[in-house]
Structure 1
Amino acid sequence: MDELARRSFVAAVLGAVFFGGPAVAQNTTAGGVTRVALKGYDPVSYFTDGVPQQGSAEFTFAFDDTTYWFKSAEHRTTFAADPEHYAPQFDGFCAVLLSRGRKVEADPEAWTINNGKLYVFSGKRGVLSFNERPIDIAQRAGENLKQLR
């Protein structure tokens, strides 16, 4: 989604959230199935609680072609105010495997916050690998994500 369209979408959803409209827009993959990032874990909880907390389908928000679940309306509002800060990098796919050209869903329990950004991995070993070369891995993962979309 281009930057202008994404910002317009975020503004529309914020308006709906704050003025009584539908809670959230849904998104779908090519197969018609909604993709929920982080296996339903609340991305804000990584920052506020220091541990991942399971979200609820009751509190959702769509951003960057991905739906996020939250444990509370407060966390959803926090995310909606600054999704670039709270959303996991690379749409919640494993940063290490993405740097190697593979798009794999991450384990929400394998994570780190580096330079104020949330990164998730397919397993705990990914955290160790990432921490050894965060700039290199993040740069390659970003390049590969563009190609794999």
Structure 2
Amino acid sequence: MKKLVLLVLILVFGVSSAQNDAKRASQYNLENKTAIQGYDPVGYFSQGKAVKGKKGISASYQGVIYNFSSGENKNAFLKNPSKYEPQYGGWCAYAMGSAGEKVEINPETFKITDGKLFLFYNAFFNNTLKSWNKDEVNLKTQADDNWKKIYK
């Protein structure tokens, strides 16, 4: 009887986990289930710049695939994924704050504030990082609130 209960619990947890991963992935900014257009999330912190990851050095975390430029970066990520994941599912932080919208990003336009990675749209003469910097405190508060509404 104990084995049956344990098996049922494992199945329930597995199904629940898979559903949560699928929900999470559906809200994140992904291309073929890969975040940040294949850029290395750890590189922003360790190298201070956007570094393209390699498909051969990747890891999946809660339904989202991340590519890394080195095994060391992959290991650092796996030790503490929440430290390196971009805010707001990898969508443009400015758009999330100003309008509560999911807008594509340019992975080379970013900012690290309070140990968190924020990504921004930057195309067609519109670099939203500049607008973010003008009112970062208010935009961040609003973006946090908007993301909670989107990603419940």
- TM-score greater than 0.5 by the shorter chain: yes
Match in the other structure for 1:93: 91
Residues 53-112 of structure 1: per-residue CA shift (max 9 Å, x gap)? 100111222235422111111111001111121111112110011121210221101111
Match in the other structure for 2:132: 130
Cα distance between partner residues in 2 of 1:101 and 1:84: 22
Match in the other structure for 2:79: 81
Seen in structure 2, the aligned counterparts of structure 1 residues 64 and 102 have a Cα distance that, compared at 3 Å, is farther
Q: Secondary structure at the match of 2:49?
A: coil
On the 8 A contact 2:121/2:129 being kept in 1, the answer is no
On the 8 A contact 2:112/2:118 being kept in 1, the answer is yes
| Cα deviation, residue 129, structure 1 | 1.5
| Cα deviation, residue 125, structure 1 | 2.0
C-alpha RMSD of matched pairs (Å): 2.4
Match in the other structure for 1:105: 104
Task: Structure 1: state its 5+ residue gaps.
Answer: 10-26
Match in the other structure for 2:37: 39
Cα distance between partner residues in 2 of 1:129 and 1:145: 19
Cα distance between partner residues in 1 of 2:50 and 2:88: 18
| Cα deviation, residue 49, structure 1 | 1.0
Cα distance between partner residues in 2 of 1:65 and 1:51: 25
Task: Structure 2: state its 5+ residue gaps.
Answer: 1-12, 18-23
| Cα deviation, residue 29, structure 1 | 4.1
On the 8 A contact 2:111/2:117 being kept in 1, the answer is yes
Cα distance between partner residues in 1 of 2:46 and 2:106: 19
Cα distance between partner residues in 2 of 1:53 and 1:41: 6
Aligned residue pairs: how many? 123
Cα distance between partner residues in 2 of 1:67 and 1:105: 17
The more displaced of 60-69 and 120-129 is: 60-69
Cα distance between partner residues in 2 of 1:79 and 1:53: 14
Tell me the TM-score normalised to structure 2 length.
Answer: 0.71
